[in-house]
Amino acid sequence: QALFGARDSRSISDLDLASAAKMGSSSSSAANPAFKPTARRLSLAKSVAAMDMVRWNQQYDLAHMSKMLDAACQATTVEAAVEEVTSLMALGHNIWAYAYLRALCEKDVHLYYGMLLAEPAKLLPVAYTPTVGEACQKFGLMPYYSRGCYISLPDKGNIKAVLAEYAQAHLEKDAGGKYKCQCIVFSDGGRILGLGDLGAWGMGIPMGKLDLYTVCGGFDPTQTIPVIIDVGCSDESGNTAKLTIQDHPLYHGLKQDRAKHTSAAGTQVNTCYYGPDSFVGEFMGAARELFGSGCLLQFEDFNTNDAMPLLAEYRDKFLTYNDDIQGTAAVAVAGVLGAVKIMHPSERDLVAVLRKMRVLFHGAGSANLGGASLILSEAGIPKEQVFVTN
């Protein structure tokens, strides 16, 4: 009540579902994906599944926002879609443009990617960084759409069924009857960018990363799955902006703290990720069973304390990598080698020159620790010459 002021604060049991039917009566709203019923239950976020998606989107301001976004999203051509989103970007703040992109993706996925491909320099910063950080902080304040698979702690022992339900709704099968999936990007929301623990609201990160893979890497967007591993969320102290997330009325993830323990390395880690019945291990095994060993499983924005040991555990068992530890690190080290080339234009063995230098990484996040690991293990720089601030 304090958050939403004098606006409607009825519980879901009091909601008038007749109003949903009225909202869907016009030709515009009939196609509104926020009010389109779904048979999915297992692969929805648990709070949404308890109500169903249409009921969820009737809460608070979501119903009116859904109508506004649907009205703004009327394009049927790439040119018209670019014009619509550009008009929102003219406000000088891209959060509304981000919300528009999500609505368009749900209404017409091919038009959505056609638009991104037409204007990648303009629109990828809206679909992903830097806009996606704020979008994740406000993810639950926007309508809930069908894209995205949520695998929650109560699904333990049944993860394959969760993935299969999502695949049945969103993927096609090959001639042999196997679901076609090229890539799954999965996060637990534990460390979204530099913003801290955003839990299930971190879904914007797997979605956005897969958008980059489609536009820049040629992945088929109809053969990808963005996944949130939902095992709880920290309180306000767990994110940099001190936002109320777990206890927010529109938080759609598990409303519970993460169960953690102190590892042998002395770090706080998510207990359910380790041991013979590891939740992450079950997920990766289920994904491989359903989609084959050629489906890429990418870790994204896990807390560093979990990211490093999980990568070490699974990198040689699955087609997997951690973009923060390996991808960003590779680009950063490439930049360092480029700087060495500028300093020594005639030098051919850049790594040999780097071995004579001292390297300081400012900050002990996944990317910097990954970069330090990379130059230690593959460049052979003595560890006495590598420093990381904390």
Q: Model confidence over 173-205: pLDDT tens digits?
A: 999 999 999 999 999 999 999 899 999 999 999
pLDDT for res 83: 97
Tokens in use for 229?
Answer: 């591993």
Tokens in use for 60?
Answer: 């608070």
pLDDT for res 114: 97
Those residues with Cβ within 8 angstroms of residue 308's Cβ, 6 or more apart along the chain or in another chain = 325, 366, 369
pLDDT band at 34 (very low <50, low <70, confident <90, very high): confident
Those residues with Cβ within 8 angstroms of residue 161's Cβ, 6 or more apart along the chain or in another chain = 42, 155
pLDDT value at 1 more than 70: no
Residue pair 55/15 in contact (Cβ under 8 Å)? The answer is: yes
- Token pair 């209404």 is found at 107
pTM: 0.89
Half-sphere exposure of 272 (CA within 13 A, CB side): 18
Q: What pairing do the DSSP bridges indicate for beta strands 268-270 and 260-262?
A: antiparallel
Question: What's the order of all strands across the beta sheet hosting 296-299?
Answer: 149-152, 224-230, 183-187, 296-299, 320-322
pLDDT value at 164 more than 70: yes
> Of the ranges 143-152, 285-294, 359-368, which one carries the lowest mean pLDDT score?
359-368
End-to-end CA distance of the chain: 40
pLDDT for res 127: 98
Distance, in Å, from the CA atom of 279 to the CA atom of 185, rounded to the nearest integer, reads 16
Q: What pairing do the DSSP bridges indicate for beta strands 183-187 and 224-230?
A: parallel
Distance, in Å, from the CA atom of 270 to the CA atom of 275, rounded to the nearest integer, reads 11
Could you give the residue numbers annotated as active site? 128, 209
Computed over every residue of the chain, the mean pLDDT equals: 91
Mean pLDDT of 103-115: 96
Distance, in Å, from the CA atom of 302 to the CA atom of 190, rounded to the nearest integer, reads 5
| Helix 204-217 × helix 109-118 angle, to 10° | 60
Q: How crowded is residue 156: how many other Cβ atoms within 10 Å of its Cβ?
A: 15
